[in-house]
Chains A and B, each alone.
Chain A
Amino acid sequence: MPTNLLLDSDIPEIDSREGRSSLLAQANTEELTSLVDRLLEEAELSSQLRIVRSPHTGTVQFQVREPVCEERFYLADVVVTVAEVAIGNHLGWAMRVGTDRRAALAAAIADALFESGHKEACGSLQSLITVTRRELIDQRQSEWAQLNKTIIEFEELD
């Protein structure tokens, strides 16, 4: 029996590093980049920022496991952009789908800021990912509301 079909099963949690990375990967580009830009205005932050690997685009092989033989195969490649930074000695990493290098960099900086525990930054980033999470759930719910009407209702036989 499949156990993972819950609508919100893979909605990331806010309180883990992986969950935050997931949400930063899916956050609205404009909101993410303008927020990080604003946070970088603080001189202390920008002076501590170091780019470990500048944002670059590449592919990730999408690997699936099929149900007949429970075998894996490669379905396709996904185009992603990755970046790695450090703030002080806190490393930040991000990967986002697509080719937007600026957004990947912003997400990596946000990840490092979370790790650094910088109070003001963490506060506003926390609200960004909370909103992102809410939007993911809302989108699925409204999608389901539409799909639900297309379910074929059979007359009860018993």
Chain B
Amino acid sequence: MGYAAARGGLTAIRNAEDLVRTLRDMDESEQIELDQFIGRLRLLVDRIMGEAGMWEPRLTALAIRQAEGDHIESVHLLRAYKSTLPRIASTEPIHVDEMRLLRRVVPAFREPGGPQILGRSTDYSARMLDPRSGSGATASLEPEVATHVAENSSSVQTNTPRLMNVLRDMDLLTDRRRTDDPEPFDITRTPARPPAPRSARLSSMARAETGALLNQWYRNILGPDGYLHEVTLGEVRHGELPIRIKHPYTNGSVSIGSLRVTEVEAIEDLNGVDEDRDRFDIGYGLCLGHNERKAIAMANLDIACHRDGSKSSLEQSILLTTDGLDSAGFLEHLKLPHYVTFRSMMERKIAVRNARPSVQKGDKE
């Protein structure tokens, strides 16, 4: 076809891409293997899987390596990949009570019933740079193979009640349990716009950009929006949930593996005039991987949105401004050529000037 006089745009783009590839892949250092990301940069992989809304550690590692560690770019690669895939099925509804705990912190009680498990955490570590970290020199010996522990572990995990249920038993909780079991809102197929069901808000926050959610929270604490206040955390949990689907022949349940999530319960003191002053309510946060910052912000925003009853702009902010790809993409589009629009703007500046009474025009000249 008549594709005359290519003026070098394509060549420049190809060369720019080549420069990225070459400088990245020909670096003097060793190529980073994918399992190193998964094993040694666990929290980065977790965060990116969450924001991509996609569980697949290996592809995530690949995305991070390809994107030279840029986290928005990594999320973009994964979501664009997902757009090429057919949707095969939904899992069975997995109740979060099925979580196998890897960590559990309950700030609301000293002895909440069930253990406080610090797990893999740096919460109480002094933040000091350690030149030996990652070298193996700081690792302790293999933990003893503790079969005796394993025996009582079943009972420990079984006897770990959720703090929400403890408060329910004490009749200190507003009961919002539904029995109608509405179909969840699918934000990947229908854009979520206010007013939206809670399932749309929870899905949106689960894959929101972590920093955006954190900022939404803090902006409501100290910024111009005061739609929420500080909560007491009931549960902060990190653990595993099974991925269970229906067997296509037998209709029985098949667990094809598991994924890790972070879960938070945020206890809200209901202090509004029309609210239940002798009970608490609870906000809920759940996101992929180990990402407590995100889950805590989510839980706090969930309850704030519920109390708000779609009266303020909070829901719109959550649904529309927290996606990392939306905000970053639009910000960066400012780098594109805009000379047609700018020409039109220049033309109107002259038009305004010409429309002014001549006295004023004289001032300018």
Q: Does A touch B (CB under 8 Å) in the complex?
A: yes
Q: Which residues of A contact B (CB under 8 A)?
A: 1-10, 12, 16-18, 21-22, 25-26, 56-80, 82, 91, 93, 95-99, 140-152, 154, 157
Q: B310 interface residue, CB < 8 Å from A?
A: no
Residue in A closest to B207 when the chains form the complex, CB atoms: A76
Per DSSP, chain B at the interface is mixed
Q: Do A64 and B241 touch (CB < 8 A)? A: yes
Known: A60-B88, A74-B184. A67 touches B56 (CB 8 A): no
Q: Which of B157, B253, B257 contacts A6 (CB 8 A)?
A: B157
Knowing A18-B250, A62-B94 touch, does A26 contact B158 (C-beta < 8 A)?
no
Contact B160 A5 (CB under 8 A): yes
Contact B88 A80 (CB under 8 A): yes
Cβ of B255: which chain A residues have Cβ within 8 Å of it?
10, 12, 22, 25
Contacts A70-B178, A80-B256 given; does A60 touch B245 at CB 8 Å: yes
- Taking a contact as CB atoms under 8 Å apart, the answer to whether A73 and B199 are in contact is yes
Chain B contact-residue range equals 35 or more
In the complex, what residues of B have CB within 8 A of residue A145's CB?
143-146, 149-150
Contact flags (1/0) for B178-197 with A, using CB distance below 8 Å? Answer: 11011111111000000000
A79 in contact with B256 (CB, 8 Å): no
Question: Which residues of chain B are near A17, meaning CB under 8 Å?
Answer: 247, 249-250, 252
User: Can you show 21 pairs from A to B with CB atoms below 8 A apart?
Assistant: A2-B98, A10-B255, A26-B256, A56-B86, A59-B87, A64-B96, A65-B94, A70-B181, A71-B198, A73-B203, A74-B188, A79-B56, A91-B249, A96-B256, A141-B150, A142-B145, A142-B146, A144-B153, A148-B149, A151-B117, A151-B118
Known contacts A76-B288, A141-B147, A149-B143: A65-B117 contact under CB 8 Å: no
Kindly list chain A residues whose C-beta atoms are within 8 Å of the C-beta of B99.
5
List chain B positions with a Cβ less than 8 A from chain A: 49-50, 53-56, 58-59, 82, 85-103, 110-111, 115-121, 143-147, 149-150, 153-154, 156-158, 160-162, 164-165, 176-179, 181-188, 198-199, 202-203, 206-207, 241-245, 247-250, 252-257, 259, 261, 265, 282-284, 286-288
Q: A17-B250, A143-B102, A150-B117 are in contact. Are A74 and B161 (CB under 8 A)?
A: no
Are B143 and A60 in contact, CB atoms less than 8 angstroms apart?
A: no
B82 → A minimal CB distance (Å) = 6
With a CB–CB cut-off of 8 A, which chain A residues contact B287?
A: 75
In the complex, chain B residues whose CB is within 8 Å of the CB of A8: 154
B204 to chain A, nearest CB (A): 10
When the two chains form their complex, are residues B181 and A5 in contact, meaning their CB atoms are under 8 A apart?
no
| Interfacial chain A residues near B254, Cβ < 8 Å | 18, 21-22, 25, 95
B158, A77: Cβ atoms closer than 8 Å: no
Is A76's CB under 8 angstroms from B284's CB? no
